Amino acid sequence: MARTIKTRVRSALPGTGFDSAGNAKQGKRRVTGSISVTSYTSAGESLTATDLGLAAIDWISIVHEDQAANSEGDGSRWVNYVTSSSDFYILQTIGAGLEAQATGTTHALRFDAMGDALDGIELT
């Protein structure tokens, strides 16, 4: 399991956040970029908020850059993120709609995430 994260966009979302008590809060951020996985195993890959420059992830979407599972365009690949363990899993359809862990060890992914900025200041 080895992965490299490259941030492409990091933008502040001023005035859009709330703290756990529901009070308005500054310091929300949107981060987009790519993840290069060079030795994927079925055990999944860790991806924490700090890996993305966030203190907490409110929302994340991860997609496979090559969503077709083979050169004929059959099947599909997708990525599931498990918030409770901060891991992602790459899956693909095989055969008659059966799902399994993705084959191959190298994968190129893109992500889009929003959450609390790691370096954000609280303005009250």
Top-confidence residue, 68 or 83: 83
Is 122 inside any structural domain?
Answer: no
Is 123 inside any structural domain?
Answer: no
- The pLDDT of 20-36, averaged and rounded, is 86
DSSP secondary structure, 17-59, as one string: EE-TTS-EE--EEEEEEEEEESS--TT-EE--TGGGTEEEEEE
Is 64 inside any structural domain?
Answer: yes
Most confident option among 46-50, 64-68, 115-119: 46-50
Top-confidence residue, 15 or 78: 78
Q: Report residue 50's pLDDT band, with 50, 70 and 90 as the boundaries.
A: very high
Is 105 inside any structural domain?
Answer: yes
Under 8 Å CB-to-CB from 116, ≥6 apart: which residues?
A: 17, 27, 28, 29, 49, 54, 55, 56, 58
Q: Domain containing 40: what range?
A: 3-117
CA distance 94 to 124: 52
Q: Report residue 17's pLDDT band, with 50, 70 and 90 as the boundaries.
A: confident
CA distance 14 to 67: 34
What was the pLDDT predicted at 90?
87
Number of structural domains found in the chain: 1
Is 12 inside any structural domain?
Answer: yes
